[in-house]
Structure 1
Amino acid sequence: MFYSLKSRLIAIFVLLFVLSFVTLSFLLFNQSRSIIRSYIESSALEKMDEYGSYIDMVQTQIYDLASIVFNSDITNSWNAIASDPSATDGERNLAHFHMSQFLTQTTNSYSSVSSVAIYRQEGLWVSSGNFVVTNPSFLQEDWYNNFKNKEEYWISAHTDAAELRNNNKHPVVSMLMPIGSYEPSLTKSVMKINVSADYFLEPLGRIHLGESGTIYLLDQNGKPMLSQADYETRSDMLAQVQEIRQGWRKQGVLYMNNAQGEKEILVYKKLAQTNWMLVGFVSEDDLYAQLFRLRSSIWIVASILLLLSLVLASWLSHGITKPLSRLVLAMRHIQRGDFANAESRLLPQRSVRNEVGFATETFRSMVHQLREHIKTEFELKLLRQQAEYKALLMQINPHFLFNTLELMSSLAMQKRTEDTVQVIESLGKMMRFSLKMDDDLIRLEEELLYVDYYISILRIRFGERLCISMEKEGNLERLSVVKFIFQPLIENAVKYSAAYRQEAKVHISVRHAEGKVHLVVSDNGPGFTPEKKRQVLESSTTAQLDQILTSRSSQIGLGNVLSRCRLYYESLFEVRIDSSSEEGTSIELILPAQEVNGHVPSIDRG
């Protein structure tokens, strides 16, 4: 049973399906995981760089405000009066009032700062918002003692008394600075600048690692700066973070196992200005959650498709083996010379719908071999001609693409972002257009639009050294031409003109008159010698396909265009070349005026 053609077809079909699907799923899963991992690494570090710049901006505002207050005459005057035991209560109150107003005005100038307060060791503090409070409780606060004794200038997220008086119960991040002295332990006045913790937390929350990964902002001691209490639960990772802090690397990505044996990814970046650090954790299961769900869905779909394939294989094998069996029986009759019975054994002509049916009909048509041979020879010639045309067409795109990629690389190195974006946009539109390989003819307007995109790239590449213009004449709306015949001519014109002239001048002319389309590209380059002109014209009429595709001639674009036009239009195509060393070169292509969906008459195509 297994040796029957039907059984073998089913077995091979299922085997190929399973092997190809399993291999594809494995490669897809691993490649996708590699891509996601690479993307997470680069994206997370890039977002961390942006957040680091944001932190630097906020810190710069804080330092600027602190500098203004520290160096202000108002601050010095207030500090002197507050420290003077002989000053009256009225003088002190007036000084406190002026100092509060000054802090309010200064705070309003910085959008990121929530409030500023100055604390005196006598138990008095002055804040923006016209607050002058006598309450020595702050002297017992950890932040005050750590600053005085340990010189810790930054305070992680906490509630602040000055903020509470403004009905702001949200946590703040603060920076401390001594007033009147650079030594925290000797100063009598401490300035405290508050920034809302949400000002740091909100942009940090927009940095995503998978679906539930978290990024923490750590201070110089490795403690969370923001309201991220769950950081302490990552005890299995804290030792690794401490090693990273002591290391010399500024940023990186580590892969490790947590206490439960699960694979986790640690992303980190050090912020140089304050010795802070960004640390992100995400498990591989979380990072690839969608990919795992996709793999499960693939296996479910694969099982359904496998069952369906069995049914289709049975149906397909039956459709193949039955007509083949009757065809073999007919051949045996032919061996005995019984042509009548042989033809009767074949399936009716109306059931011919596939390759087996085609073989049956070919056998049926053996009596007409001569006519079929002529028909086959004609079809082969047409297919060969189309293949030659496609080969010439495919020669254009890589040549142009390499030049444009080199230009984009140069622009990127020069940091010409806007020009790079414009080149990418133009190149994208050109590539989208060039991928339409289903038809040899396109609308003339589309070809000219393709040229416009290419000209925009040339103008960026050559700048003021290029003067290029286009002139249109006659009704061009419904005309069609062979695609990609303008761009190689324009490229050669610009190339040689720019190489020999200070300013490359290229003029493009499109004219419709008397049933013809005249396409002209003129330049101010060095021109052709008479011998070179003769060689170009002769080679376009006699060159073989392999000679054109393997040619290393500098006129490969021109030769390609002329060969494609002659291959498609044959006797209906004309070319004229006018060239001199003083005036440059003018190449004119004369094509039959064909409307959209029109075709060259077969009598004229040979």
Structure 2
Amino acid sequence: MFYSLKNRLIAFFVVLLVISFGTMFYLLFQESRSIIRSYIESSALEKMDEYGSFVHMALSQMHDLSSVVFNSDMTKTWDNALSDPALPEGEKMLANISMSQFLTQTTNNYSIASSLSIYRKDGTRVSDGNEVSLNVPFQDEPWYKDFAERGIQWDSAHADPVEVKRFKPYQVVSLLLPIGTFEPTLAKSVMKVNVSSDFFLEPLNRIHLGETGTIFLLDQAGRPILSQSKEFDAQAELAVKVEQARTSLEPQGVLYFTNERGTTDILVYKKLQIQNWMLVSLVPEKDLFLKLTKLRDSSLFVATLLLVFAILGASWISYGITKPLSRLASAMRHVQKGDFAAAESRIPAERNVRNEVGFVTSTFRNMVEQLRQHIKVEFELKLLRQQAEYKALLMQINPHFLFNTLELLSSLAMQRRTEDTVNVITSLGKMLRFSLRISDDLVPLGEELKYLRHYEAILRIRFGDRLSLVIEEEGGMEQREIVKFILQPLVENAVKYGLQSNSGARVHIRVSADQGRVRLSVADNGPGMPPEQVERLQAEAASIPIDQILKSRSQQIGLRNVLARCQLYYGSLFTFTIRSNEGQGTVIELILPAAIGGKAE
């Protein structure tokens, strides 16, 4: 699929745009998230600091108000009057009215206070606004029980009867203090300073984290102080996470939690120095980045449109380039196969060349035409040259062997060994008759071995007991055809080097099949060759020029001639190995393609 330039060009544009835009979006989104998160966290903590200062100021005013009442001589006089059993009820009522007036004046000096009341255990309630009530059943109220039994001075948002009576239905936060003592359980009178819950809640609601995040003001028990209980209890996991923040040693911080939906929640908290109160806010992380997520989705949509347009543009551009190039590539494949006619048919002749691609196509067509003619002429010349070189190498073998044999006949004649002379002449005649068939490049393996056995007969007459020559032949190999005259030169070299041994020459020839090919092995007991000489022979076999072999007079002329002829005839299908160690002889193996009747298996 991606062999086509058109497909690769389109794929390149797609990958380039996807990687570039994807990387850009990812980095921008992650960096924006990090910046926004850091900004929101720092902004939330700063706002909590400001709100904490506001709460501290409000509580300080409430304490100041209660301190004025607690330390006033009027309060002491009123408490003593109501505690005196001998004082008439009328006098006590006058004392209550005077105390109410004092509370009214004091409350007016502190705008933060919504109302101020003093409760006595006998059921008397004195409030600001010149209000005195008797037999008020406040002892069963939760705020009073918590104060009297556990000493809790702050009461969370609740509805106060005084406020309700004054047509103020809003809830209040109260500060409770004993009168005349510091021990709540010993106090006969309790002062209750009420501040509207909205006084604390309104500025708190102006602090936002994300779109849905809510900040809660919690008391020392971890419960909302203001009228936020429903919102707090609606978040089931919030109480557990608040407890983790309370146990933290840090006065403020940010905690991350994975909720039951698998998303991340962010808890921002700040511990206030007064009353162990704490400000907390829990907001889903995705809510913080809602606008950023929308921006990312919009950007991805635009990027997708750009990608589609880029693909269409790449297709249009690539079509004008790849169509002629595709035809050119198809023509090249036909040229690679040698089918020049089909290649020319794939590239129609163009009269007008409009661009660089058209020029390349037209030039290639002309080149194919010229190349076809050139290859035809060059092939014919190379074939003639190759045949001439092969025949020259073949003719080099016969004189070399013939001179050695004639010297042997001369020696036998001088020794008057008539029978051996006749046998040598007979074997030589059969060998010459075989060698004169120079028109045949391939011969059956059986005839090549028969030729080798005639040569063996001559060698045995020449060397006698000094020669041990064994031919091991695997059955069914006689009809396999190989290049002629490749065993005799190797055996001649093996005998020559084997005679350098004191025990005489021992030569072993083995013919076998190797995965559909013919393996010819010639081993001797000669002095062997050093490794560097073996490497040099192997390197020369693939690179030495033919004319240099023909002019060579070295001792390896037989081996070089055989390797050169095999390389020339078989090319890359021919392989050979030379195994030799100094003092341990040499083994030469030739591996040739198997052929029967001129056809390879």
Asked if the contact 2:122/2:135 (under 8 Å) is kept, the reply is: no
One-letter code of the match for 1:246? T
Partner SS state of residue 194, structure 2: strand
One-letter code of the match for 1:69? V
1:144 equivalent to 2:136? Answer no
Asked if the contact 1:257/1:263 (under 8 Å) is kept, the reply is: yes
1:283-304 Cα deviation digits (max 9, x unpaired): 1222222222222222222221
Partner SS state of residue 281, structure 1: strand
Deviation at 1:98, TM superposition (A): 1.6
1:250 corresponding residue in structure 2: 251
1:239 equivalent to 2:237? Answer no
2:346 corresponding residue in structure 1: none
Alpha-carbon distance in structure 1 between the residues aligned to 2:10 and 2:262? 45
Alpha-carbon distance in structure 2 between the residues aligned to 1:186 and 1:243? 36
2:17 corresponding residue in structure 1: 17
Alpha-carbon distance in structure 1 between the residues aligned to 2:10 and 2:256? 46
1:106 equivalent to 2:111? Answer no
2:90 corresponding residue in structure 1: 90
Structure index of larger Rg = 2
Deviation at 1:320, TM superposition (A): 8.9
2:203 corresponding residue in structure 1: 203
Asked if the contact 1:236/1:259 (under 8 Å) is kept, the reply is: no
Deviation at 1:27, TM superposition (A): 1.3
Structure 1 window deviating more from structure 2 (139-148 vs 31-40): it is: 31-40
Asked if the contact 1:40/1:209 (under 8 Å) is kept, the reply is: yes
1:287 equivalent to 2:288? Answer yes
1:570-597 Cα deviation digits (max 9, x unpaired): xxxxxxxxxxxxxxxxxxxxxxxxxxxx
Distance 1:223 1:4, change over 3 A: closer
Alpha-carbon distance in structure 2 between the residues aligned to 1:160 and 1:88? 31
Partner SS state of residue 282, structure 1: strand
Alpha-carbon distance in structure 2 between the residues aligned to 1:5 and 1:185? 93
1:204-262 Cα deviation digits (max 9, x unpaired): 11111111112111111111101112312334332332233233221111111234443
Alpha-carbon distance in structure 1 between the residues aligned to 2:22 and 2:293? 15
Q: Alignment identity in percent?
A: 55
One-letter code of the match for 1:304? L
1:193 corresponding residue in structure 2: 193
1:73 equivalent to 2:34? Answer no
1:391-402 to structure 2, matched below 5 A, reads none
Partner SS state of residue 183, structure 2: coil
Deviation at 1:159, TM superposition (A): 0.3
Partner SS state of residue 185, structure 1: helix
Structure 1 window deviating more from structure 2 (173-182 vs 22-31): it is: 22-31
One-letter code of the match for 1:160? D
Alpha-carbon distance in structure 1 between the residues aligned to 2:23 and 2:145? 65
Alpha-carbon distance in structure 1 between the residues aligned to 2:317 and 2:132? 92
1:43-442 to structure 2, matched below 5 A, reads 43-229=43-229, 230-314=231-315
Alpha-carbon distance in structure 2 between the residues aligned to 1:175 and 1:196? 12
One-letter code of the match for 2:197? A
1:375-413 Cα deviation digits (max 9, x unpaired): xxxxxxxxxxxxxxxxxxxxxxxxxxxxxxxxxxxxxxx
Structure 1 window deviating more from structure 2 (45-54 vs 24-33): it is: 24-33
For normalisation by structure 1, the TM-score amounts to: 0.51
Alpha-carbon distance in structure 2 between the residues aligned to 1:127 and 1:316? 90
Partner SS state of residue 136, structure 1: coil
Asked if the contact 1:256/1:265 (under 8 Å) is kept, the reply is: yes
Alpha-carbon distance in structure 1 between the residues aligned to 2:166 and 2:210? 38
Partner SS state of residue 256, structure 1: strand
Query: RMSD over aligned Cα, in angstroms?
Result: 2.9
2:31 corresponding residue in structure 1: 31
Asked if the contact 2:267/2:282 (under 8 Å) is kept, the reply is: yes
One-letter code of the match for 1:159? A
Alpha-carbon distance in structure 2 between the residues aligned to 1:22 and 1:247? 40
Alpha-carbon distance in structure 2 between the residues aligned to 1:55 and 1:116? 19
Alpha-carbon distance in structure 2 between the residues aligned to 1:108 and 1:292? 52
Partner SS state of residue 209, structure 1: coil
One-letter code of the match for 2:20? S
Partner SS state of residue 237, structure 2: helix
Please list every run of 5 or more consecutive structure 2 residues that lacks an aligned counterpart in the other structure: 326-351, 357-601
1:329 corresponding residue in structure 2: none
Alpha-carbon distance in structure 1 between the residues aligned to 2:287 and 2:267? 13
Deviation at 1:314, TM superposition (A): 4.5
Please list every run of 5 or more consecutive structure 1 residues that lacks an aligned counterpart in the other structure: 325-343, 348-355, 357-606
Distance 1:12 1:50, change over 3 A: same
One-letter code of the match for 2:181? S
Structure 1 window deviating more from structure 2 (224-233 vs 178-187): it is: 224-233
1:517-545 Cα deviation digits (max 9, x unpaired): xxxxxxxxxxxxxxxxxxxxxxxxxxxxx
Partner SS state of residue 140, structure 1: coil
Partner SS state of residue 94, structure 1: helix
Alpha-carbon distance in structure 2 between the residues aligned to 1:236 and 1:13? 49
Deviation at 1:105, TM superposition (A): 1.4
Deviation at 1:127, TM superposition (A): 0.7
Alpha-carbon distance in structure 2 between the residues aligned to 1:176 and 1:226? 16
Asked if the contact 2:252/2:271 (under 8 Å) is kept, the reply is: yes
Asked if the contact 2:268/2:280 (under 8 Å) is kept, the reply is: yes
Structure 1 window deviating more from structure 2 (1-10 vs 175-184): it is: 1-10
Deviation at 1:25, TM superposition (A): 1.4
1:172-221 Cα deviation digits (max 9, x unpaired): 00000111111111111110000100111111111111111121111111
Distance 1:89 1:303, change over 3 A: same
Alpha-carbon distance in structure 1 between the residues aligned to 2:283 and 2:5? 54
Partner SS state of residue 139, structure 1: coil
Alpha-carbon distance in structure 1 between the residues aligned to 2:223 and 2:172? 15
Alpha-carbon distance in structure 1 between the residues aligned to 2:165 and 2:81? 25
Partner SS state of residue 181, structure 1: coil
Deviation at 1:318, TM superposition (A): 7.5
Asked if the contact 2:155/2:175 (under 8 Å) is kept, the reply is: yes
Distance 1:84 1:319, change over 3 A: farther
Deviation at 1:70, TM superposition (A): 0.7
Asked if the contact 1:113/1:193 (under 8 Å) is kept, the reply is: yes
1:313-368 Cα deviation digits (max 9, x unpaired): 3456689999x9xxxxxxxxxxxxxxxxxxx9779xxxxxxxx9xxxxxxxxxxxx
Alpha-carbon distance in structure 1 between the residues aligned to 2:255 and 2:48? 15
Alpha-carbon distance in structure 2 between the residues aligned to 1:212 and 1:169? 27
Alpha-carbon distance in structure 1 between the residues aligned to 2:61 and 2:11? 74
Partner SS state of residue 137, structure 1: coil
Deviation at 1:23, TM superposition (A): 1.1
Alpha-carbon distance in structure 2 between the residues aligned to 1:247 and 1:76? 44
Asked if the contact 2:254/2:269 (under 8 Å) is kept, the reply is: yes
Partner SS state of residue 164, structure 1: helix
Distance 1:185 1:296, change over 3 A: same
Distance 1:239 1:5, change over 3 A: closer
Alpha-carbon distance in structure 1 between the residues aligned to 2:21 and 2:120? 75
Partner SS state of residue 155, structure 1: strand
Partner SS state of residue 269, structure 2: strand
Alpha-carbon distance in structure 1 between the residues aligned to 2:259 and 2:318? 55
1:403 corresponding residue in structure 2: none
